[in-house]
Structure 1
Amino acid sequence: MRTRSGPRAAVAALVAALALGVAGCVPPDEPDAAPPSGGSNAVEQLGQLTVASAGSMKGYSREHFPHWRNTGKNCDVRDTILQRDGKDVKLSGCNVVGGRWESVYDGRSATDPSDVDIDHMVPLANAWRSGADDWNDAKRGDFANDTTRPQLLAVSASSNRAKGDQDPSQWKPANRSYWCQYAESWVTVKHHWRLTVTSAEKAALNDMLEGCTWANKP
């Protein structure tokens, strides 16, 4: 059998190496390089959301939204988001023990992961009032650990606690330059999970999206 050599062989070897890297060298819990984005159709998606009054908090408990899920190697979803959103991240095993984080909500920086909260874009209590009270705990756990949609974000502890369970008609990030992304992400999450919005919430989201250059693109 003839053995290939020269440029063609080099190209073939490179392709094979790349294929091996994609298939076998990236761990399954490797975090995305950046928080997922909902795309530029937020206005259309907002129009598709059901408007309803906020539901009751009767029966609500954070325990009905089990988090953070294990992601292997003694890690959990919190570690995944800290690693995804941080820079110069330091690990002990796969636990995040250091790095640099800049909170998009208020511009505050942190180097200690204990000073960083993982915010649920749509808060758990808001989800409960918006339809999640009818889900089972397994589905609520999927929501609370959703790393596919822009539902989880590493931010300053102070901004996360100031936000609480408020919707955009009640609280907005101090960093106005993040409003377009914030509204887009909020709508993306509610649209995917088929949660309702109040009339005040929808009006606030419309206002936030109105000035976004991409919001009305087809």
Structure 2
Amino acid sequence: MPARRAVGETVTVLLREAIEALPVAEESRDGYERSKFRHWIDADRNGCNTRKEVILREAVEAPQVGPGCSLTGGTWYSIYDGVVVTDASALDVDHVVPLAEAWDSGASAWSAAERQAYANDLDEPRDLVAVTARSNRQKSDKDIAEWRPVEAETCDYVDRWTVSKTRWGQSVDTREKTVLHDLGATCPNLALTITLAR
């Protein structure tokens, strides 16, 4: 991948090249608190916060939207466990690269505004995903070396993980890089188009 470009620029890079370009650094969780990433804001003030916006965007069959962005009906497919969901309240919205992992990988040095932007990133649809609450709890704050979704969705997850790390200029640790290399070698070497957020 060419030298990193400016924020807001869009790059297109093959998956394996993008994985190779991720910088390796030791991780530290010192000072991490989830509250340092202000999330589920209502940026456009339409009554639906980031969590609800993702749920609406990812619906296979759209729900009805009521007062206060209450959702009734609708259908979703949870890529983490391959489950079809018909009740929006059974969904969690997950940060593909968890907040704690982002902190470990460079976000500890970001401003509060940058962390808020990361936690509510609706501009990159691969960063946030609506999944079953059960699968999200199983994943928790684990990185891709420690947890992956059902096998049928592993390559999609590798793509998402690589896109997010690249978009936000995050590092990976040695084990994470090795796992990404190994998984990437078994996945289609797709061209990833990524708009750089920092």
TM-score category by the smaller chain? 0.7 to 0.9
**Preserved contact between residue 42 and residue 215 of structure 1 (Cα < 8 Å):** yes
Gaps of 5+ in 2: 1-10, 193-198
Deviation string 1:30-59 (CA, Å, 9 cap, x unpaired) is xxxxxxxx976221111111111211x222
Partner of 1:45: 18
What's the TM-score, normalizing by structure 2? 0.84
In the TM superposition, residue 213 of structure 1 has moved relative to its aligned partner by 2.7
Partner of 1:61: 33
In the TM superposition, residue 96 of structure 1 has moved relative to its aligned partner by 4.3
1:176 to 2:151 alignment = yes
Partner of 1:208: 183
**What is the aligned counterpart of 2:142 among 156, 159, 166?**
166
Counterpart residue identity of residue 174, structure 2 = S
Partner of 2:7: none
**Preserved contact between residue 20 and residue 181 of structure 2 (Cα < 8 Å):** no
Higher relative contact order, structure no. (Cα contacts within 8 Å, ≥ 6 residues apart): 2
Q: Which has the larger radius of gyration?
A: 1
**What is the aligned counterpart of 1:136 among 105, 111, 114?**
111
Deviation string 1:120-179 (CA, Å, 9 cap, x unpaired) is 000000000111000111100000011222110000101111111111110010x21111
Tell me the distance in 2 between the aligned counterparts of 1:40 and 1:186. 14
Tell me the distance in 2 between the aligned counterparts of 1:199 and 1:124. 19
What's the TM-score, normalizing by structure 1? 0.76
Tell me the distance in 1 between the aligned counterparts of 2:18 and 2:99. 21
- The Cα RMSD (Å) is 1.9
**Preserved contact between residue 102 and residue 155 of structure 1 (Cα < 8 Å):** yes
**What is the aligned counterpart of 1:82 among 41, 48, 55?**
55
3-state secondary structure, aligned to 1:58: coil
Runs of 4+ aligned structure 1 residues displaced above 2 Å come to 213-217
**Preserved contact between residue 89 and residue 96 of structure 1 (Cα < 8 Å):** no
Counterpart residue identity of residue 163, structure 2 = T
Superposition pairs for residues 3-152 of structure 1, below 5 Å? Answer: 41-55=14-28, 57-70=29-42, 71-86=44-59, 87-93=61-67, 95-98=69-72, 99-149=74-124, 150-152=126-128
**Preserved contact between residue 130 and residue 196 of structure 1 (Cα < 8 Å):** yes
Identity in percent: 35
3-state secondary structure, aligned to 1:154: strand
**Preserved contact between residue 209 and residue 215 of structure 1 (Cα < 8 Å):** no
